[in-house]
Amino acid sequence: MAYVEMLRLRKALAIYTIVVVAVFLLILIPSHWPGAVVHGDTAVSIPLSVLLPIVGFCAIIFATTISTSLNRENDGVEMVWTKPVSRERLALTYIAFDLAAIVLAYALAFVMALSILASFGLVQFIHADTNWFPMLMVTLGIAFMWYGLLQGLTSSLTGGRGGIIIGLSWAACAFLLPALTAATMRSPGLHQFVLALNVLNPLAYLSGSSAHIHVGIPVGGPTLIPHDVWLRVAITWGFGLLGSFAAIVGWKRLEV
């Protein structure tokens, strides 16, 4: 059954590659069209700590699309569990393959970004600042956090409802929670409650970071998300591990 998951991931990565290449070509072609004029700044500086989270957003999207791998087995789980392997080991294998695919998706997007920058002659302006590694880890942590939370929410569901949960999570994290955070600024009690909910919003960990990356709706005001990037790394990876553990437990206890 692990081979089946590998085939799924291969298909998912193929679709992801096509989409990413198409998007990057849409960015690249107009600026290189005959007669196009591009004005560059020779004094530009591109810190890796800024580039990595921007590129990593592609990996975050990909992570959510494959985050229901255990749920997808539930309609035929009686066949899956006939294999001579424990349910926990099988679930861990799925999660390990998924994480490897997320890292590969991140690398692909980064290579495409470098290709675009190279076409503008900007690669030499990229520099590895002191925050690049923690920002890499926090971006991967955000992808893993969202993946783990969705696995935990969907692993014990049946009836193919995993896709609906993914869509609802994007609506909540990218639009609803940022909007509620802004709308409740004048209601301290309700605002604190919404801020607490944002602790479970993976995208909140990309806002107000030490690299000054802002994603979604900038709302200003106080936040419960720590500004220290290594605390964000610990929290996001911690949520990812907890979600994955809950997914394994829920999947193991699923009734045939």
β 46-47/126-127 pair status: parallel
For the chain, percent of residues with pLDDT exceeding 70: 81
Rounded Cα–Cα distance for residues 220 and 217 (Å): 9
Query: Is it the case that residue 31 has pLDDT exceeding 90?
Result: no
Query: Is it the case that residue 39 has pLDDT exceeding 90?
Result: no
pLDDT band at 1 (very low <50, low <70, confident <90, very high): low
pLDDT band at 240 (very low <50, low <70, confident <90, very high): very high
Give mean pLDDT, residues 225-244. Answer: 92
Query: Is it the case that residue 64 has pLDDT exceeding 90?
Result: yes
Query: So where are the chain's domains?
Result: 2-8+46-252
- For residue 16, what are its two tokens? 């992801």
Per-residue pLDDT reduced to its tens digit, 112-160: 999 888 877 788 888 889 889 999 999 999 999 999 999 999 988 876 7
Give mean pLDDT, residues 19-37. Answer: 72
**Residue that has been written with the tokens 């783990």 in this structure:** 148
User: Which phi and psi (to 5°) does residue 170 adopt?
Assistant: -70, -40
Query: Is it the case that residue 256 has pLDDT exceeding 60?
Result: no
For the four alpha carbons of 230, 181, 240 and 110, in that order, the dihedral sign comes to: negative
This prediction's pTM: 0.87
Per-residue pLDDT reduced to its tens digit, 159-180: 677 889 999 999 999 999 988 9
Q: Residue type for 59, please?
A: A
Q: How many other C-beta atoms can be found within 10 angstroms of the C-beta atom of residue 200?
A: 15
Query: Is it the case that residue 205 has pLDDT exceeding 70?
Result: yes
In this prediction, residue 228 carries a pLDDT of 85
Helix (H, G, I), strand (E, B) or coil at 123: helix
In this prediction, residue 36 carries a pLDDT of 46
Whole-angstrom CA distances from 78 to 75, 115, 206, 254, 256 are 8, 46, 40, 10, 6
Query: Is it the case that residue 216 has pLDDT exceeding 50?
Result: no
Our CA dihedral for 218, 223, 224, 226, rounded to 10 degrees, sits at: 80
The number of C-alpha atoms within 13 Å of 32 and in the hemisphere containing its C-beta is 12
Q: For residue 179, give every residue at least 6 positions away whose Cβ sits within 8 Å of its Cβ, in sequence order, or none.
A: 217
Task: Return the closest-CA partner of residue 101 out of 55, 136, 147.
Answer: 147
